[in-house]
Structure 1
Amino acid sequence: MAKLAFLGMGVMGAPMAGHLVKAGHQVTVYNRTTVKAENWAAQHESAFGATPRETVDGAEIVFACVGNDDDLRAVVLGDHGALAGMTEGTLFVDHTTVSAIVTRELAQAASKKGIGWVDAPVSGGQIGAENGQLAIMCGGSQANYDRGEPVMAAYAKAMRRFGDVGSGQLTKMVNQICIVGIVQGIAEGLWFAKQAGLDPKAVAELVSQGAGGSWQLVNRSGTMIDNAFDHGFAVDWMRKDLGIALEQGKQMGVPLPMTALVDQLYAEVQALGGGRWDTSSLIQRYRAMAGEL
């Protein structure tokens, strides 16, 4: 089995790295807040590093799942960054959702050292990470993808290469665009059902069996109705992702009017104090307008 490093012990990275250990790999981890890495290492009888450079020493494949473009640059570049400790012929697999621009920038820096790069953002949220049921969208050379694919399989439900470096990030933008349109539609529909005097849960159960069904309707309608949002993917992170997609669309000359609208609706949720609520909290706007918050 492989000697691996994993950078980022957040709600996604920690369980993903855990699945790698369960698969029999030797995993060393890093986190900006060292105590998180130390606790994870103690729990999994593994090692942790004080810096990315120290953590990746001897690793065949380095994985990362951090916050944003700047966070990724911070763990990859510089004297204490991952590239400073990686050797020619190794592979960097990035699970962070970032811009295609920074992905290509860092992949080029890695290439100069003979290090391969695969951008591999994921979908499935914390539950998907914990259950090893993530959808992974990949970009990179076929050879690099083929190296990473059997290792990533430890926490994947589905995985596919969509093209060269940056293609994974572009696909993740499609994923987020589709999600927010669906979630806003569910929020409107459930609020409409309530105001019409219907039982929203009964409506959601039936509609989910027809053409209006979706993962979001099945898994989020109940918590939307119950006013429970302390779980899942945070509004703050979704707005970060939508900002990336909107900027990419601008560069490509592709209008994204629905995405722009829902992004602003999420801004209203943030103004209600819901930056850390799950993305399904779009329905809270209606409660606020009705004076129910």
Structure 2
Amino acid sequence: MAKVAFIGLGVMGYPMAGHLKNRGGHEVTVYNRSAAKAERWAAEFNGASRPTPAECAKDADFVFSCVGNDDDLRAVTTGPDGAFHGVKAGAIFIDNTTASAEVARELAAVASDKGFGFLDAPVSGGQAGAENGALTVMVGGDQATFDKAKPIIESYAKMVGRMGDVGAGQLTKMVNQICIAGLVQGLSEGLHFGMKAGLDIAAVVDVISKGAAGSWQMENRYKTMVQGQYEHGFAVDWMRKDLSIVLDEARRNGASLPVAALVDQFYAEVQKMGGNRWDTSSLLARLEK
């Protein structure tokens, strides 16, 4: 059992912290911008809550964060009352936020100066993966720090992989989002075409999902897509945030991402339709409007 702190109890962080407590058996203290939510988590999971990230991180062996973006991450780490003011020497800070590789390297340097480890560890699997403790975690950091943290991270994961030095976790998550963006657009166009052609979409998917066209998105999203149901899953706003990070990194490293850039604009159209909180599979709604 380890002393664990968890900062950020959104739709992902809330169940992740719960798995650290119940499945991992760790002593967990939480912080959330909304204190009422932190107190609710503490009551539900028999844990503790603290009023600031710094107080939450104090005395913890492992400190996790899962917040919105680079600015949010800086606020809860190096900002006033940020966790980095409370993390003890020798501890390890694990950031599950989907953020830039740049901020990961920035915070790792600060952590090193303060005498504790840092891992960037974005996750894939969505809200369902977080609730089921079945996330895929892509980690950047040195091998020794990763080896110490991996058994703790496994409390909420089905796969934990070290991708390289600090920043490599975030870069791998960018690859993940690039692949998903193109895949969902292709699936949307295929379903749109099939419906226009008058095909039995359930029969079509039953056949092609067993071949080269098959994917998690096809098997788990096609039914809600053809029914026009999008009030679930990974929000378009979040995907656009992630694609913004991807495209910024591509401008730095010279990668050509024409499809990702185009799909990002398609998501902007979905936002204009009022689909900010719709699932990313709502690209079909744009074609059907």
What TM-score comes out, normalization by structure 1 length? 0.97
Structure-2 residue corresponding to 1:212: 213
The equivalent of 1:7 in structure 2 is 7
Residues 81-92 of structure 1 mapped to structure 2, 5 A cutoff: 81-92=82-93
Indicate whether 1:17 and 2:17 are aligned: yes
Could you tell me which amino acid in structure 1 is paired with residue 49 of structure 2? F
Distance across 1 between alignment mates of 2:197 and 2:95: 46
Q: Which amino acid aligns with 2:171?
A: L
Letter in 2 for 1:2: A
Helix, strand or coil at the partner of 2:198: coil
Task: Provide, for residues 145-199 of structure 1, a one-character-per-residue CA deviation record: whole Å limited to 9, x for no partner.
Answer: 0111000111111111011000000000000000011000000000100000011
* Residue type at the aligned position of 1:9: L
Corresponding residue for residue 161 of structure 2: 160
Give the match's secondary structure for 1:67.
coil
Task: Report matched runs for 1:32-181 at 5 Å.
Answer: 32-181=33-182
The one-letter code matched in structure 2 to 1:183 is: V
SS at match of 1:162: strand
Name 1:291's counterpart in structure 2: none
Shift of 1:286: 1.3
> What is the one-letter code of the residue matched to 1:205?
D
Equivalent residue letter for 2:7: L
**Residue 188 of structure 1: aligned partner:** 189
- The residue number in structure 1 matching 2:262 is 261
Q: Which structure 1 segments of 5+ residues have no match?
A: 289-293
Q: What code does the residue aligned with 1:283 have? A: L
Question: Using the alignment, how far apart are the partners of 1:81 and 1:143 within structure 2?
Answer: 25
Segments of structure 2 that go 5 or more residues without pairing to the other structure are: none
The 2-side partners of 1:225 and 1:78 are apart by 45
Letter in 2 for 1:6: F
Amino acid aligned to 1:212: A
| Distance of 1:79 and 1:187 partners within structure 2 | 45
Aligned 8 A contact 1:234 1:277 in 2 = yes
One-letter amino acid matched to 1:182: L
Counterpart amino acid of residue 124 in structure 1: G
Q: Secondary structure at the match of 2:173?
A: helix
Equivalent-residue separation in structure 2 for 1:112 and 1:183 (angstroms): 42
Say if 1:201 and 1:225, in contact at 8 Å, map to a contact too: no
Distance 1:235 1:253 in 2: 26
- Secondary structure of residue in 1 paired with 2:138: strand
- AA paired with 2:20? L
Equivalent position amino acid for 1:156 in 2: A
1:194-273 equivalence runs, <5 A: 194-273=195-274
- Contact 1:95-1:122 within 8 A present in 2 as well: yes
Whole-angstrom CA distance in 1 between matches of 2:15 and 2:63? 16
Looking at structure 2, the residues matched to 39 and 229 of structure 1 have their Cα atoms a distance apart, in angstroms, of 28
In 2: Cα distance, 1:102 partner to 1:32 partner: 21
Q: TM-score, normalised by structure 2?
A: 0.99
CA contact (8 A) 1:7 1:29 kept: yes
Confirm or deny: 8 A CA contact 1:235 1:277 kept in the other structure: yes
Q: Which residue of 1 aligns with 2:31?
A: 30
